[in-house]
Amino acid sequence: SPSALQGSLKASILDPRALKLLPFATAQEREETEAQVRAELSLLEDQVTVSNNTEIERNSVTINDDFQDSLSAELWGTLSIPDN
């Protein structure tokens, strides 16, 4: 059935060797499928990169905020006038 074939293609999408096992009618059909798989993989990789970068940016902002808070506390401690 077509859905079973699609399911097995999706399951093995990361393994190019699996493409060679699929029963393509023509070499052109295989090339088109390979091109489609590469395009889908490339999209997935871009999504992963974007979400990783977003996560890194989010963490950097948090670190910067914490650092500035502790830095300003330290500065105020240095600048505060002694009570005596």
Please state the pTM of the whole predicted model: 0.40
Eight-class DSSP state of 25: S
Q: What is the pLDDT of residue 75?
A: 74
Contact 54, 36 (CB under 8 A): no
- Look-up of token digits 């990169």: 49
Model confidence over 16-38: pLDDT tens digits? 676 677 777 788 888 888 888 88
N-terminal to C-terminal alpha carbon distance within the chain:
88
The predicted-structure confidence for 55-84, as pLDDT tens digits, reads as follows 777 777 666 677 777 777 777 777 666 665
Question: 43, 15 in Cβ contact below 8 A?
Answer: no
